[in-house]
Structure 1
């Protein structure tokens, strides 16, 4: 089981069952321990604050970082058209996460409103 709760930086703790999830077998314990801290902000940003819907366009700045990489995948799963912004070495990774369009921030001005894609 894994999950996130307040004041749980201890060897043992008590948590409500409805706040926990079964650890996928393909994840290590270390991966499952940090996953909620990147996934929750991505989910909250897209679903709760952005109200992202299928066929909307989503720009994810920092698409190859922890929160951004999950945001790309979640936005894609929702059905959005995703543009990811990342550095030059992460262009292929960002495409592999599901971004249809990728802007390299070191060589492209993604903030000017024009469609910049690789």
Structure 2
């Protein structure tokens, strides 16, 4: 019985670490670093929040592709340009980073803290 408790705790810790750690091969930037990146026309900016969240508040220059639509709409995102992703807290955009990496995108950047850190 004690073994099962340790196993359960281990699985919970593993799950949390997978959610909180940055995706492999993905750059991480702060919102202050993002400010200077927004002027760069060679980069593409994707907000992976829901359409309603995007309508309520977004950063000019970002295009909305909700995370649940990313697999289907990834072909609309050129692979030859850096992709900078944002969400509300950085969790969904981190997940989106993993999705894009698996689809063959090599230059992917996640905004740490997301819109919650944007001021």
Band the TM-score falls in, shorter-chain normalisation: 0.3 to 0.5
More helix by share: 2
| TM-score, with structure 1 as normaliser | 0.33
